[in-house]
Structure formats: structure tokens, C-alpha cells
């Protein structure tokens, strides 16, 4: 099954991979024709196609063209103006087919009357529809249902919400056949319509690899009425007497991703250094040279008020810090807090059973330490290994590498938008800040993890294209807005990698 949002992401990803939506529309419309001709000899048969807005209308226009080519007597009833670019391309073709296709454009609703035909095709309201049909579609749906002939709906019957199945009685199409595309739409499960699923040429890679479509459908523009804090409060717990850069990078990446407030909790002297890096950061000055159990009570109140927590960057592995990491992660688990656990904190809690709102982001060495097994060098075996590991620790696992693998134990996703410059220290810290912010903005952990690594890696690639192997993690941070604001154009400039042979 697939949701409307997931299907839209696949279409965009398909375009990014070189299979444009115009080709998908052509395949969809032709598959509708194929299903009809498999049931009827359409030569000289009367076929009416009710065409609405958007891509579904375009699918109907393609089907009309192919059915006319099979010798059917096709009449297209055009309901309103279609502004979909691919549909307009196909409408131009239909307008030129004035010998084989009759085109009717009703000007008034009362011009719509029931017809008698061999086949009727519903190409009116598509998967983007929700609510109650407006005119002229409310009347057109009623007329379609009252017409005589074998009724075919494209993708989802008009008037039905493709995700929920919601529809108003008497205001949705009741077809004899539904031809849906790529995968079953969730809303169709509420009905017993005879349904066939047709593949339309979307590459498997559009689903397996994180792509620009995933960013475009999951990250929305913030509402104008937003107030401070609505878009995420992030707490970064990290830093030590030795390391101050790692938590700073995680925090700066969180801000660039769109968090409203970012707090960095570090040992007192380290926090002062971090505050000096940028006035954008709010530092929490913890007593001691390293984070220790004595800081735990103070940290609890900050954890409680944060929407998502990052723990690990630059913490170090002093004995007191290891004990503090265990206390903090146990509290995060108790609160089921959205959290990204990385670096030294991950090493400190090796073997811990985690929870569904946690994301861990190990590289190969940290994966070996935490799970006690070496990551396979065979990519397909490694994918299965990560799925098993995620199921074992009951959290989302993102193993970083030449190809990033993300799994929550049920699903997996891959990312290959990185480049050789991403070996620079700090690129993993920027990743944790991005993921935490996306989770704080109500994106589920698994999705936030694969979106995060896609954004981080592609930002790194934009920087790499400018600087070559001389980039710094701050260069990655500066490119984050470019990826989020224009993922499709950014993706076109990525480094291509072929790995699964």
C-alpha cells in the first residue's frame, strides 16, 4: 500500500532519476487502455471519457488517444481548465485529433446529461482530492453514475479520498473496475471495487534511495502565524575539556535546518568557548571539566523542555562521562524522548536496548562496538544486517558510509548523495543536528533519519563541487538551506555512484 504523499515523492524521485512524469503519465494512460481492450473488442465501440484537472485528467487523455488508435469512437468531456503541464501536452494532442476524437467542453452544468456507451472512463478527481466535490464535478459524478456502460475509474474513483477512503454518499464514482498505479492506495481498502494495480515505470531506486521528493513532501513551509518554539527546541548534550567543536557543529546545523531554539549543554569552560563561536547559540554551563553524573539533575529539566535531544558529540570517554551517558540515555528512554545518540555516548551505552523514538548514527567502527559485529562489506548483506540490528535495539539505525543505510527494523532506505570530502571530521555532528531538528518538527524518526542524511550529504556535495576535497564541516552547514529550499536542483548536481551490481 502507498499513501498520496509517498506516491508524490516517488514521482519526483523518478523525475530526478531521469524518468519524467510525462513518461509515467503515458504509461498510466496506456495501461488503462490495455485493461479495457483485454475485456472488450473496442473497435467501433462508444467510449466516453470524463476528464478533470491534474494528472488524472492527463491519464484519461492518454487513454483516449490510445483507445482511438484501437478504433474506438471516443468522446472526451472536458470539465474545466487543466493547468497540469503534462496534461496540457496531452490535451494539445487530443485537440489535433479532431477526426478520431470528439471533444466536448460544457459551458454550463445543465449541459451534463447521462449518456449510453459501451465504456465510460472516470478521469476527473485524482489522489490529491479531499473533502466534498465541487461543481461541475458533483454533477458530473452523478451523471457518470447514471450513465449506461462499463465504468472504469483511473487510480481512485472520483470523490473518494485516496488516503482515508472518505466520501460523501451519492458524490463518488461507483465503478466496475479501478485501474490504480504502482501500488494499492490505502483508501481503496474500504471498498470492494474490482481493482488492478499497474506498474508505470517508476524505478525501484526511486523508492529505495532517499531523494528530493522525500524532502519536498515531508518538509513544509512554516505557517505565517508561527511563534518562537513552534519549529523545534533542540538540546545538544556534548563537549568536554578536550572537545568543543563537535557540539557546536551539531547545534549550528540544527539552526540552519530550521530549529527555533538550540541549547548546548557542556562543561563550564567548554560552554564558554562554544558561546564565543556564535551569538546564535544558548549555552548551558555544567560544573566540572567533563559531563558527569553530578550534572544529571540539572540536565533533566533541560531534557524535559526540549523537543529533541542530541547526545554524544565531543563528550569524550572519561569514566565519569560514560556513567553520565548511561544515566542520561536511560532517562531519555524512560521519557520516550525524541533523541539522536551518537559518537561517544553511543560507545558508552554499547549493548543498550533503546526505544522507538531514538536514532543512532554509527559509522562502521561504532556499529561494531555497539552491536558486537563487523558490518558486512557486501552491500546487500549489510542492508539485511542493519535491518536486524534496528529490530534488535528497537530504534532507528543509520550506519554512515560510502552508502548510508537507514532502518527501523521494518523498513530500510539508502542514501548515496555524499562525496569523498565527507570524510572530514565534524560531518557526522552536522548530521545529528539536522535529524534532531526534523524530529522536533514532527517528522517520524525513521523518515527524519533518511531525510537528514540526504540533506547533510547533498549539502556536503554542493560544498565539494565548489571546493573539492578542501571543505570544512561549516561549509556543509552553509549549504543546508540550499538543499532544503531546492532539493531537486541540488540533486542534479550530485556525484553519481553506482554500487548495487
Q: Is 126 annotated as a binding residue?
A: yes
Q: Is 425 annotated as a binding residue?
A: no
C-alpha dihedral sign at 265, 313, 449, 489: positive
Q: Is 468 annotated as a binding residue?
A: no
Q: Is 211 annotated as a binding residue?
A: no
Residue 278: which residues within 8 A CB-CB, separation 6 or more? 248, 252
378: burial class by Cβ within 10 Å (0-12, 13-18, 19+)? exposed
Q: Is 127 annotated as a binding residue?
A: yes
Q: Is 278 annotated as a binding residue?
A: no
Give CA angle at 51 (49, 52), nearest 5°: 160
Q: Are strands 116-123 and 148-154 parallel, antiparallel or unpaired?
A: parallel
| Residue 349: strand, helix, or coil | coil
Residue 277's region, left for phi above 0, alpha for psi from -120 to 50, else beta, is: alpha
Q: Is 433 annotated as a binding residue?
A: no
- DSSP H helices in 228-318: 245-257, 268-277, 296-305
- Give CA–CA dist 320/325, Å, rounded: 9
Residue 426: which residues within 8 A CB-CB, separation 6 or more? 245, 246, 249, 472, 473, 476
Q: Is 428 annotated as a binding residue?
A: yes
Q: Do the Cβ atoms of 454 and 417 come closer than 8 Å?
A: yes
Q: Is 129 annotated as a binding residue?
A: yes
Residue 294: which residues within 8 A CB-CB, separation 6 or more? 287, 288
Q: Is 460 annotated as a binding residue?
A: no
Give the Cβ contact number of residue 175 at 10 Å.
24
Give the Cβ contact number of residue 362 at 10 Å.
25
Location of C-alpha cell 515505470: 201
Residue 74: which residues within 8 A CB-CB, separation 6 or more? 47, 48, 49, 64, 67, 68, 100, 101, 102
Q: Is 155 annotated as a binding residue?
A: yes
Q: Are strands 412-415 and 404-407 parallel, antiparallel or unpaired?
A: antiparallel
Note the Cα 208 to chain centre separation in Å.
11
Known binding-site residues for (6S)-NADPHX equal 126-132, 155, 246, 314, 363, 429
Known binding-site residues for AMP equal 428
Known binding-site residues equal 122, 126-132, 155, 158, 246, 314, 363, 428-429
Amino acid at each position: 500500500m502507498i499513501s498520496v504523499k509517498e506516491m508524490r515523492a516517488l514521482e519526483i524521485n523518478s523525475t530526478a532519476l531521469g524518468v519524467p512524469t510525462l513518461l509515467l503519465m503515458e504509461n498510466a494512460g496506456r495501461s488503462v487502455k490495455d485493461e479495457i481492450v483485454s475485456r472488450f473488442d473496442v473497435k467501433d465501440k462508444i467510449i466516453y471519457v470524463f476528464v478533470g484537472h491534474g494528472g488524472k485528467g492527463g491519464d484519461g487523455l492518454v487513454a483516449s488517444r490510445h483507445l482511438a488508435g484501437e478504433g474506438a469512437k471516443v468522446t472526451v468531456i472536458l470539465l474545466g481548465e487543466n493547468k497540469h503541464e503534462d496534461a496540457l501536452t496531452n490535451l494539445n494532442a487530443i485537440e489535433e485529433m479532431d477526426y478520431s476524437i470528439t471533444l466536448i467542453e460544457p459551458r454550463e452544468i445543465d449541459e451534463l446529461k447521462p449518456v449510453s456507451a459501451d465504456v465510460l472512463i472516470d478521469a476527473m478527481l485524482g489522489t490529491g482530492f479531499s473533502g466534498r466535490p465541487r461543481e461541475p464535478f458533483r454533477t458530473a459524478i452523478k451523471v457518470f453514475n447514471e450513465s449506461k456502460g462499463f465504468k472504469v475509474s483511473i487510480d481512485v474513483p472520483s470523490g473518494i479520498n485516496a488516503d482515508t477512503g472518505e466520501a460523501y454518499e451519492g458524490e463518488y464514482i461507483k465503478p466496475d473496475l479501478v485501474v490504480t498505479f504502482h501500488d494499492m492506495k490505502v483508501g481503496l481498502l474500504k471498498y470492494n471495487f474490482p481493482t488492478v494495480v499497474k506498474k508505470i515505470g517508476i524505478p525501484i531506486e526511486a523508492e529505495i534511495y532517499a531523494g528530493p521528493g522525500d524532502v519536498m513532501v515531508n518538509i513544509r513551509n512554516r505557517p505565517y502565524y508561527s511563534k518562537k518554539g513552534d519549529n523545534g527546541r533542540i538540546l545538544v548534550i556534548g563537549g568536554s575539556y578536550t572537545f568543543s567543536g563537535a557540539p557546536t557543529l551539531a547545534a549550528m546545523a540544527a539552526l540552519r535546518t530550521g530549529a527555533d531554539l538550540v541549547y548546548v549543554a557542556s562543561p563550564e569552560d567548554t560552554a564558554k568557548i562554544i558561546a564565543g563561536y556564535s551569538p546564535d547559540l544558548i549555552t548551558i554551563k555544567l560544573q566540572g571539566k567533563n559531563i558527569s553524573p553530578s550534572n544529571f539533575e540539572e540536565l533533566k529539566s533541560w531534557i524535559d523542555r526540549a523537543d529533541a535531544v542530541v547526545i554524544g558529540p565531543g563528550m569524550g570517554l572519561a569514566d565519569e562521562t560514560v556513567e553520565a551517558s548511561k544515566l542520561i540515555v536511560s532517562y531519555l528512554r524512560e521519557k520516550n524522548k525524541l533523541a539522536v545518540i551518537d559518537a561517544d555516548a553511543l560507545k558508552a551505552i554499547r549493548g543498550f536496548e533503546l526505544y522507538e523514538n531514538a536514532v543512532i548514527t554509527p559509522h562502521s567502527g561504532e556499529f561494531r562496538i555497539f552491536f558486537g559485529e563487523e558490518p558486512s562489506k557486501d552491500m546487500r548483506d549489510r542492508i539485511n544486517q542493519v535491518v536486524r540490528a534496528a529490530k534488535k535495539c528497537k530504534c532507528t539505525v543509520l550506519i554512515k558510509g560510502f552508502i548510508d543505510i537507514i532502518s527501523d527494523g521494518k523498513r530500510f532506505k539508502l542514501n548515496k548523495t555524499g562525496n569523498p570530502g565527507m570524510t572530514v571530521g565534524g560531518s557526522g555532528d552536522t548530521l545529528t543536528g539536522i535529524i534532531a531538528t526534523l524530529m522536533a518538527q514532527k517528522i517520524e524518526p525513521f523518515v527524519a533519519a533518511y531525510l537528514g542524511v540526504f540533506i547533510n550529504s547533498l549539502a556536503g556535495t554542493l560544498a565539494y563541487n565548489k571546493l573539492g576535497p578542501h571543505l570544512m564541516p561549516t561549509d556543509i552547514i552553509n549549504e543546508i538551506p540550499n538543499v532544503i529550499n531546492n532539493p531537486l536542483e541540488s540533486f542534479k548536481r550530485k556525484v553519481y555512484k553506482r554500487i548495487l551490481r
